[in-house]
Chain A
Amino acid sequence: MEEYLKIEREKEWRVELRTKLKNKERTTIERVQMPGLDPIERIQYQDREVNLGLDEASAITEASRCMDCVNPTCIEGCPVSINIPKFIKNIERGEMHEAAKTLKETSALPAVCGRVCPQEKQCEAQCFYTLKLKKEPVAIGYLERFAADFEQNSGSISVPETAEKNNIKVAAIGSGPASLSFAGDMAKLGYDVTVFEALHEVGGVLKYGIPEFRLPNRVVDVELASLEKMGVKFERNFIVGRTASFDDLKEEGFHAFFVASGAGLPRFMNIPGENFNGILSSNEYLTRVNLMNAAKSEFDTPVLRGKNIAVIGGGNTAMDSVRTAKRLGAERAMIVYRRSREEMPARVEEVLHAEEEGIEFLNLNNPIEYFADENGRVNRMRLQKMELGEPDASGRRRPVVVEGSEYDIPVDVVVVAIGVSPNPLVPSELPELKVSRWGTIEVDPETMQSSIPDLFAGGDIVRGGATVILAMGDGRKAAAGMHQYLQTKQNNLVSEPSAIKNAD
């Protein structure tokens, strides 16, 4: 890898580009601002993207801030190891298609990642500007989105090269980011990949979880089309473990499986009154709106609307839910989070956007009970104030109850976004599969191989909860691990009659 990066960096055009501007000049350029829709306007629409993307001139200027470091630490911060300086330098020289191609070398979903990755915690946190200069990092995420969008909008979309087909069938279960990333890498290696999706729509959390104002479905669809062009097949409405068992699929010639069935089981706090009408999980709320068009008048999918909507949690799902609530007409849309803003797991940008849209943040508050009217509809919640104590084992300061601080606020809808449990179907189908106490599949963290040798896993079903990019990283690792496993198996074929060599 290091050698490859070095060779790429020493290519003539890169060397020449570095001489065009002195580093001192590069570092004096201010970081670009992402243009966005006006908050007052955007909260009227569920499907209008908030960030508008950079124009070409701003992208080139921003790209010229990158100093094309000898040791590009930014790549270390990227779970899918995008050659960041290479794609940025391509933007700087105006070769946008080359930039997009570079992204696709290791990422199956660049237009998605450019929108939803928490870059501030990953590549941008490792940027030379952040680490050494203590300045704002190069806007890697904005540039990634720019390159991917440029290609999508040009109509000339490159399809990554794939190796000669080896006719070895492999399956990915679930069609979220982990599976799509896995499928992309396996297709590049020549495998015959089928992605099985339980719902009617492919994309997993990218479609049912993330609202269109953050990630338009059309953007996801273009990425899916690229995978299809690479030969990846998608089976919709197919539940592995119900529609067909693992054994059935093995009989159909599948040699290995990548399980990325996600964490779709909503969690509640189990506090008094949580069963009242009007209290629902973020999964249900977002799925109704994102996948089943509940926000659109021409669809009859019902969704709860209210004046005072509280969303419990501080992650991206909570932000997506509360911002959706605002768009559905809530007068008071609130985040109730028991830690402070500093500990919030949500992307910084999502929190900022939420604030711009008038979302109220009741941080250091924890719900302890709900109350309802005579019809059983929630009408009030009791909150308890918290303060931050010593750091816990995760390094974050733990919330401690402020005794006697309880107070009530009126609510008519409550969305609980405190996390989800792993989907139990696959583990329940395979009793020999090693799972943790929490229902996550246990894997080798390097190869993502489970206790069943031909079964690999990644994403939420392994981590319990992961960002899109971490899930994609898992998909890539699993693809490498599975390829290695199948190759080793193939090399030991002589004594194995049901050989991979004889695959149909």
Chain B
Amino acid sequence: MANLATQFFGLELKSPVIAASCSMTGDLEQIKKLAKAGAGAIVLKSLYEEEIDTQLQEELSQRKALEPDPEYLDYFDYIIKDENLKDYTGLIRQAKQAVEVPIVASVSCISQSDWVLFSKKLEEAGVDALELNLFLLPANLEKSGEANEQFYFNTVKKVLEVVSIPVTIKISHYFSNLAAMIKALSETGIAGISLFNRFYSPDIDIQNEKMISADVLSHASDYLLPLRWTGILSSQTSCPLAATGGIHSAETAIKFLLAGASAVQVASVLYNGGTEAIAGMNQEIATWMDAKGYDKIDDFKGKLAIRDKHVALYERAQFMKYFTQKDF
């Protein structure tokens, strides 16, 4: 059988299929199942500073009955963060004890001091690598694109200064010059970049005329955006790339490997097909490799990454003749 081993997160992985950060990876029993199913690595559910703040606000709003003293309210500022960190580091320790597969902590903060603090604490807890879930919605009219971009570089620099384990980042595609940005980020000393993080998206319910949450899970066609950018960038970055978003089948995973990704991160497929979906994907990738005569991932990884002959195909943006030839 073909060897599925690959490298990402600065680590040797037994499979290119990684369990992405999601609610499932915040639960020890599910982590055990994912490991058993053959996940190459497991990225724990993200520790969000924003979520901690939401919890704080909920706690503050609930404490009406006994007229809390403001001194105690200040206390919540600290204890809620502390409790969240304790829970998360506890999960890391338990997961590290329970499974052999690499455990990666995912962290998403607002302030740089917390990026640093959280990263240090997670490293101390024994995690194998860190994934910084970096995202700044560029919606602030007062802030320049340059300032937004600087946030990414500053954060990476600060975290790299304080931890010695491999650090990877997961970013969005919201950059004015995405290729240059990813290339520059890849040169900061990080161990990998995952394209692209998936967000909560607002939607509108027209019957009730109110804001609602869009589908949480990805759709199978969502992979096209990261596929293009993986293909364009995988041969030009200084660190490996992984892909995430809409990877629902072994076939899609193979497309990314061909485009030059070192690994893929999956989440929605785990909700649709259970943890066993990973075992199925591993099996199908191996079968395809066997059929194609590939012994190892490196034999075909990046085969369809951007080369001179692919430039036009990856960088073409307009449909041009396609629709003019269609019958309506």
Q: Are A315 and B71 in contact (CB under 8 A)?
A: yes
Q: Are B111 and A317 in contact (CB under 8 A)?
A: no
A470–B69 alpha-carbon span in the complex (Å): 8
A:168-188 near B, CB below 8 Å? none
Q: Which residues of B contact A343 (CB under 8 A)?
A: 70
B85 sits at the interface (CB 8 A): yes
Q: Are B60 and A466 in contact (CB under 8 A)?
A: no
Pairs A–B under 8 Å by Cβ, sample size 8: A267-B82, A315-B70, A392-B57, A393-B58, A394-B61, A418-B77, A419-B75, A466-B69
Q: Which residues of B contact A419 (CB under 8 A)?
A: 71-72, 74-75, 78-79
* B121: nearest chain-A partner, CB-CB: A270
| Binary B-proximity of A354-369 (CB < 8 A = 1, otherwise 0) | 0000000000001010
A180–B61 alpha-carbon span in the complex (Å): 30
Q: Are B65 and A418 in contact (CB under 8 A)?
A: no
A343–B70 alpha-carbon span in the complex (Å): 8
Q: Which of B24-32, B112-120, B169-177, B297-305 contacts A (4 or more CB under 8 A)?
A: B112-120
A415–B75 alpha-carbon span in the complex (Å): 15
A339–B66 alpha-carbon span in the complex (Å): 23
A418–B71 alpha-carbon span in the complex (Å): 8
A201–B82 alpha-carbon span in the complex (Å): 33
Q: 4 smallest A-B Cβ distances: which pairs?
A: A419-B75, A465-B72, A315-B71, A401-B111
Q: Which residues of B contact A384 (CB under 8 A)?
A: 113
A87–B137 alpha-carbon span in the complex (Å): 60
Chain A interfacial positions (CB closer than 8 Å to B):
267, 269-272, 313-317, 338-339, 343, 345-346, 366, 368, 384, 392-394, 396, 399-401, 403-404, 406, 418-421, 438, 445, 462-467, 470, 474
A462–B72 alpha-carbon span in the complex (Å): 11
Q: Which residues of A contact B77 (CB under 8 A)?
A: 338, 399, 418
Which one of A272, A393, A406 lies within 8 Å of B57 (CB-CB)?
A393
Q: Are B69 and A396 in contact (CB under 8 A)?
A: no
Q: Which residues of B contact A267 (CB under 8 A)?
A: 75, 78-79, 82
Q: Are A317 and B68 in contact (CB under 8 A)?
A: no
B217 sits at the interface (CB 8 A): no
Chain A CB within 10 Å, residue with most, of B73, B120, B121, B154: B73
B67 sits at the interface (CB 8 A): yes
Q: Would A401 and B112 be within 8 Å (CB), given that A445-B66, A467-B69, A470-B69 are in contact?
A: yes
Q: Are A396 and B70 in contact (CB under 8 A)?
A: yes
Q: Which residues of B contact A406 (CB under 8 A)?
A: 113
Q: Are B66 and A462 in contact (CB under 8 A)?
A: yes
Q: Would A465 and B111 be within 8 Å (CB), given that A393-B58, A418-B78, A438-B79 are in contact?
A: no
Q: How many contacts between A and B, using CB within 8 angstroms? A: 100
Contact-residue bracket for chain B: 20 to 34
**A125: shortest Cβ distance to chain B, in Å?**
13
Q: Which residues of B contact A366 (CB under 8 A)?
A: 113
A155–B5 alpha-carbon span in the complex (Å): 88
Q: Would A465 and B71 be within 8 Å (CB), given that A419-B79, A438-B79 are in contact?
A: yes
Chain A CB within 10 Å, residue with most, of B57, B74, B117, B121: B74
**A440: shortest Cβ distance to chain B, in Å?**
9
Q: Which residues of B contact A445 (CB under 8 A)?
A: 65-66
Chain A CB within 10 Å, residue with most, of B58, B60, B65, B79: B79
**B271: shortest Cβ distance to chain A, in Å?**
28
* A343: nearest chain-B partner, CB-CB: B70
B160 sits at the interface (CB 8 A): no
Q: Would A464 and B112 be within 8 Å (CB), given that A270-B85, A392-B60, A470-B67 are in contact?
A: no
* B82: nearest chain-A partner, CB-CB: A270
**A276: shortest Cβ distance to chain B, in Å?**
15
Q: Are B68 and A463 in contact (CB under 8 A)?
A: yes
Q: Which residues of B contact A269 (CB under 8 A)?
A: 78, 82
**A119: shortest Cβ distance to chain B, in Å?**
15
Q: Are A394 and B70 in contact (CB under 8 A)?
A: yes
Q: Which residues of A contact B270 (CB under 8 A)?
A: none
B56 sits at the interface (CB 8 A): yes
Q: Are A314 and B74 in contact (CB under 8 A)?
A: yes
**B119: shortest Cβ distance to chain A, in Å?**
11
B:50-101 near A, CB below 8 Å? 56-61, 63, 65-75, 77-79, 81-82, 85
Q: Are A313 and B117 in contact (CB under 8 A)?
A: no
Q: Which residues of B contact A271 (CB under 8 A)?
A: 117
Q: Are A313 and B66 in contact (CB under 8 A)?
A: no
B:108-147 near A, CB below 8 Å? 110-114, 116-117, 120-121
Q: Are B72 and A463 in contact (CB under 8 A)?
A: yes
Q: Are A368 and B57 in contact (CB under 8 A)?
A: no
Q: Which residues of A contact B74 (CB under 8 A)?
A: 313-315, 339, 345, 418-419
**A18: shortest Cβ distance to chain B, in Å?**
33
Chain A CB within 10 Å, residue with most, of B67, B68, B70, B116: B70
A474–B69 alpha-carbon span in the complex (Å): 13
Q: Are B60 and A403 in contact (CB under 8 A)?
A: no
Q: Which residues of A contact B63 (CB under 8 A)?
A: 394
Q: Which residues of B contact A317 (CB under 8 A)?
A: 71
A368–B77 alpha-carbon span in the complex (Å): 14
Q: Which residues of A contact B56 (CB under 8 A)?
A: 392-393
Q: Are B79 and A421 in contact (CB under 8 A)?
A: yes
* B72: nearest chain-A partner, CB-CB: A465
Q: Would A393 and B60 be within 8 Å (CB), given that A270-B82, A403-B111, A463-B72 are in contact?
A: yes
A268–B274 alpha-carbon span in the complex (Å): 41
A404–B113 alpha-carbon span in the complex (Å): 9
Q: Would A394 and B117 be within 8 Å (CB), given that A314-B74, A445-B65, A465-B75 are in contact?
A: no
Q: Which residues of B contact A421 (CB under 8 A)?
A: 79
* A367: nearest chain-B partner, CB-CB: B113
Q: Which residues of A contact B69 (CB under 8 A)?
A: 345, 463, 465-467, 470
Q: Which residues of A contact B82 (CB under 8 A)?
A: 267, 269-270
**B297: shortest Cβ distance to chain A, in Å?**
39
Q: Would A403 and B112 be within 8 Å (CB), given that A267-B78, A338-B77, A393-B58 are in contact?
A: yes
Q: Which residues of A contact B120 (CB under 8 A)?
A: 272
* A399: nearest chain-B partner, CB-CB: B77
B:181-228 near A, CB below 8 Å? none
Q: Which residues of B contact A418 (CB under 8 A)?
A: 74-75, 77-78
Chain A CB within 10 Å, residue with most, of B69, B113, B120: B69
A360–B16 alpha-carbon span in the complex (Å): 57
A368–B112 alpha-carbon span in the complex (Å): 11
**A16: shortest Cβ distance to chain B, in Å?**
38
**A13: shortest Cβ distance to chain B, in Å?**
35
A317–B121 alpha-carbon span in the complex (Å): 29
* B70: nearest chain-A partner, CB-CB: A345
A224–B122 alpha-carbon span in the complex (Å): 50
**A240: shortest Cβ distance to chain B, in Å?**
23
Q: Which residues of A contact B117 (CB under 8 A)?
A: 271-272, 368
A401–B59 alpha-carbon span in the complex (Å): 21
Q: Which residues of A contact B59 (CB under 8 A)?
A: 393
A463–B273 alpha-carbon span in the complex (Å): 46
A384–B158 alpha-carbon span in the complex (Å): 14
Q: Which residues of B contact A401 (CB under 8 A)?
A: 110-114
Besides A346-B71, A392-B60, A403-B154, 14 more A-B contacts (Cβ < 8 Å) are A267-B78, A267-B82, A270-B85, A314-B74, A315-B71, A339-B74, A345-B73, A384-B113, A394-B61, A394-B63, A418-B78, A420-B75, A445-B65, A470-B67
